[in-house]
Amino acid sequence: MSRLNYHHLYYFWQVAKLGNLTQTAQTLHISQSALSSQIKQLEQSLDVQLFIRKGRTLSLTESGYHALNYAEEIFKNGEELEKLLTSGETLPGATIRIGMLSTISRNFIEQFIQPLIKQNDCRYTLQSMSQAGLLNALSELQIDIALTNIPVRGSNKQSWQSRLLARQAVAIIGQSGLDLSGELDDSYRGQRWVLPYGENPLRAAFDAFAAQYELQPEVVAESDDMAMLRLLTRDTGALAVMPNVVVKDELDQGTLKHYLLLPNVYENFYSVTVKRRVVHPKLDMLIQPFLDLSD
């Protein structure tokens, strides 16, 4: 059984925030001696000193600072829980939990969370997972939204709400200065390539493309991580297939070059949610700009 008395912790939290025992007692409408006694009981139960008392002033010890940080989180979550249970609403400042496919472009993720980066009234978490992990976390309400480039289909047990956020053309990318044409011709046959690995939709699209145009690619490396493919393209001299957004910085710097768009090949970026009674109020702010662009 936990020795932590949350009633005592609440009094500690109030005193720690105000830094003055008398003022806190007046605010809470209790006597100063009763307030002091509550805090002493908390210290005794945990066998730790939370304040250094010098006359009428109180200073937090190192343990006190740790306790204050945890108390802030505990009572903030309590406020959110109370609002959630009584009104069915989440506070705008509540943490928004974003799950992302481990292989998805980090530049796209940064583009998606730009509204959150530009504000300071909402905390957010980013969790990298497999596709199965994302869907499991959604179904168990561990995350508010999932971002993926793999289409999601519903089942008898679960109906996913999947939205196409962006559709980006896929290009052939390589080091600058390679002797390659701006049109698909013999210069692309027999080239060395670094390619997505496994069930990545881009790999399937490239394999079909290579077979159609008889490219006979020499595959020197494969990775299921776009960030790794970006590094391999930069350092090996091999060609890669990816949307420009993945290597935006390298293209801007001239380290890598866009040589050719693959005809009729796109990478799709999806948001996936589940139907739930309580929806984070900032989700629409994140999704709507992409929907507006697609109109």
Does residue 1 surpass a pLDDT of 50? Answer: no
**pLDDT mean across residues, the chain:** 85
Mean pLDDT, rounded, for 200-209: 86
Mean pLDDT, rounded, for 182-194: 89
* CATH fold for domain 6-87: Arc Repressor Mutant, subunit A (1.10.10)
pTM, 2 dp: 0.64
Neighbours of 5 (CB within 10 A): 15
Q: Using one digit for the tens of pLDDT, what is the confidence trace for 119-159? A: 877 789 999 999 999 999 988 888 999 999 888 876 656 67
Q: Taken in order 62, 67, 73, 79, is the CA torsion positive or negative?
A: negative
**Spatial contact of 90 and 279, defined as CB atoms under 8 Å apart:** yes
Q: Which CATH class is domain 96-166+270-294?
A: alpha beta
CA distance 126 to 103: 14
Percent of the chain with pLDDT strictly greater than 70: 90
Check if 6-87 and 167-266 are the same fold: no
CA distance 5 to 197: 52
Does residue 18 surpass a pLDDT of 90? Answer: no
Token digits for 210? Answer: 């290579």
**Spatial contact of 257 and 251, defined as CB atoms under 8 Å apart:** yes
Q: Which CATH class is domain 167-266?
A: alpha beta
Which helix or strand (DSSP H or E) is residue 132 part of? helix 131-139
CA distance 98 to 150: 16
Token digits for 92? Answer: 């705008």
**SS3 assignment, position 196:** strand
Q: Where are the domains of the chain?
A: 6-87, 96-166+270-294, 167-266
Of 151, 160, 7, 165, the residue nearest 71 (C-alpha): 7
**SS3 assignment, position 197:** coil
pLDDT at 185: 87
Neighbours of 229 (CB within 10 A): 27
